[in-house]
Amino acid sequence: MKTALTIAGSDSGGGAGIQADIKTMMANGVYAMSAITALTAQNTTKVADIMEVTPQFLAEQLDCIFTDIRPDAVKTGMVASAALIRTIAGKLTEYQAENIVVDPVMVSTSRARLISEEAIETLKEKLFPLATVITPNIPEAEVLADMEIETVQDMEKAAEVIGTRYGCSVLLKGGHQKNDASDLLWQKDKKPVWFHGVRIDNPNTHGTGCTLSSAIASNLAKGRDLETSVEAAKRYISGALAAMLDLGAGSGPMNHGFAIKEEW
Ligand SMILES: Nc1ncnc2c1ncn2[C@@H]1O[C@H](COP(=O)(O)OP(=O)(O)O)[C@@H](O)[C@H]1O
Ligand SMILES: Cc1ncc(COP(=O)(O)OP(=O)(O)O)c(N)n1
């Protein structure tokens, strides 16, 4: 069986973070492992508190994982501090990890800040160069490209700026667009590829970014190329959103149980 690792924060509400990642990896037919960067006291309306693990404890989790069951793919999510990012980059390099999807999580749907300014710089410097692909949403891409993104043309420009500046492939997610929900894959020396998605009229989008990046990692773990992995992941997230689960008082989680099953 193929294996995938999520390095991310725990969401006590179960909609995003480690919990969304594990549900997604299971539904996509890979064995899921986790290294936790922080605990969040969180629900569909707020992030009430955050407790980070120490860099030493994160390193111990990664040592235990990589010296026993080697992951075929790795996804990183919420990593709030520069010290933790340096630890992750060091361990991924030491163990020569492959198929790395970096989701540069900055702010939650409930508008809580999930990363420090200093840590954004460390992400760019240490983690992006190791990534098979990074998956910013539009607000994150605006920070990374230093530009405003309003139109489809802006998305194309921003993806190119980010990919060229940080030397990595970029999937710029369009969930925050006004009309459709189409994502753009930029890869060096290749024609950019659009993954078109109709906007599903569902206010419950908590954890969509975590879910998409974990689905991409699951498909990479199964040996698919990046483009095919993104295509399958887009199908998965669309299925999970279209299942119209409605839980909690805020922006609720998606239904992983109803999402299409990929073959193992
Ligand atoms: N209402 C929606 N309908 C269809 N797809 C959506 C919707 N909202 C988000 N998505 C998709 O979910 C994925 C995550 O995108 P996005 O919401 O932009 O990321 P994040 O959760 O990091 O803010 C993307 O594939 C995006 O196109
Ligand atoms: C612990 C934790 N990690 C990540 C997020 C943000 O989730 P994401 O899927 O990137 O974004 P939203 O769709 O929830 O905006 C989180 N809230 N908690």
- The whole-angstrom separation of Cα 118 and Cα 211 is 26
161-172 pLDDT, tens digit per residue, is 999 999 999 999
Which ipTM did the prediction report?
0.97
Q: What pTM was estimated for this model as a whole?
A: 0.97
Q: Which of 123, 66, 131, 118 is nearest to 94 (CA)?
A: 66
The answer as to whether 248 is a domain residue is no
In a domain, 256, yes or no: no
252 in a structural domain = no
What digits encode the pLDDT tens for the residues 62-93?
999 999 999 999 999 999 999 999 999 999 99
- Range 240-263 average pLDDT: 84
Lowest mean pLDDT among 105-119, 149-163, 196-210: 105-119
Assess whether 24 carries a catalytic annotation: no
Is residue 237 lining ligand 1, measured as CB closer than 6 Å? yes
Give residue 199's domain range.
3-242
List the CATH number of the domain containing 28: 3.40.1190.20
Neighbouring-strand partners of residue 183? 195
Among the listed residues 14, 15, 207, 239, the single catalytic one is: 207
Q: Looking at the 3D structure of the chain, how many domains does it have?
A: 1
Judged against a pLDDT cut of 90, whether residue 150 lies above it is answered with: yes
Give residue 259's pLDDT: 56
